[in-house]
Amino acid sequence: MEYQIIGGSFPAVKCMLQKGEAMKCEGGSMSWMDRGFNMSTEGGGGIGKALGRAFAGEKIFFNRYECSEPQGEIVFSSSFPGSIIPIKLEAGQSVIAQKDAFLACEESVDVAVHIHEKVGGGLFGGMGFIMQKFTGPGTVFLEIDGGLEKYELAAGEVKVVDGPHLAIMGGGVSFRIEKIKGAKNILFSGEGLFNTVVQGPGKIWLQTMPISNVAAQIARYIPKSE
């Protein structure tokens, strides 16, 4: 599988597949494709994983697109202005992402629900206690809202992040939730009550414009019904 990311701030990924190669995605991600693809809708991992996705509020089924011609092009588009991040995973290597980040992946990538061990931490930290875990081998394409900043954290190195800005982290990165200190800071800073503290070793991908923040700003201007 070869790919090219197009579209600038309104990105899509063009994937060129050879005969017999396949991609999987959630419903609505495919934008256009050559005629030589066979689509099927599958559970992807059995009843246990399907139920886990239902619990997480995700769609139970994946769409699978297999190339039936010598080669064919299929395109998956982002749902929000930003970036598409290709991550090539070796066998057994994993990344964890916000549950809305998944766009598409090679058929060989395992997609599973990841539940943070401390439910309260996930809820209050802004990333959500239900996330998605992607395990190789294969390439997964993930959506980033707005701009992207990537860091490689050394062992023990820490970043303090406003929760929704943490989009993706490597499997070796840990995170915890810390309450902002000081009553005046809590009441008047406008920064919320909690920050997400991530600690290496591993990579993190931060997004500059989380869609949840955009939605909150738009909501301020929508007249409330009486």
- All structural domains of the chain: 2-219 (3.60.160.10)
Sequence-separated (6 or more) residues with CB below 8 Å from residue 217: none
Among candidate residues 110, 132, 138, 97, the one with its CA nearest the CA of residue 44: 110
pLDDT surpasses 90 at 151: yes
Per-residue pLDDT band for 162 (boundaries 50, 70, 90) equals confident
Q: What pLDDT sits at residue 163?
A: 77
Check residue 118 and give its pLDDT: 53
The residue written with tokens 């990538």 in the block is 109
What pLDDT does 57 receive? 54
Three-state DSSP class for 128? coil
* pLDDT at residue 187 in the model: 44
- What six digits make up the tokens of 18? 């050879």
Q: In whole numbers, what is the pLDDT of the chain averaged over residues?
A: 83
| pTM of the predicted protein model | 0.83
Q: pLDDT digits over 170-208, tens only? A: 989 988 877 765 444 444 444 556 778 999 999 999 999
pLDDT digits (tens, 9 = 90+) for 108-135: 999 988 776 554 444 444 445 578 899 9
DSSP 8-state symbol, 218: H
Q: Within 13 Å of residue 225, how many CA atoms lie on the same side as its CB? A: 0
Query: Could you tell me the two tokens for 221?
Result: 């201007």
Span 2-26, pLDDT tens digits: 999 999 999 999 999 999 999 999 8
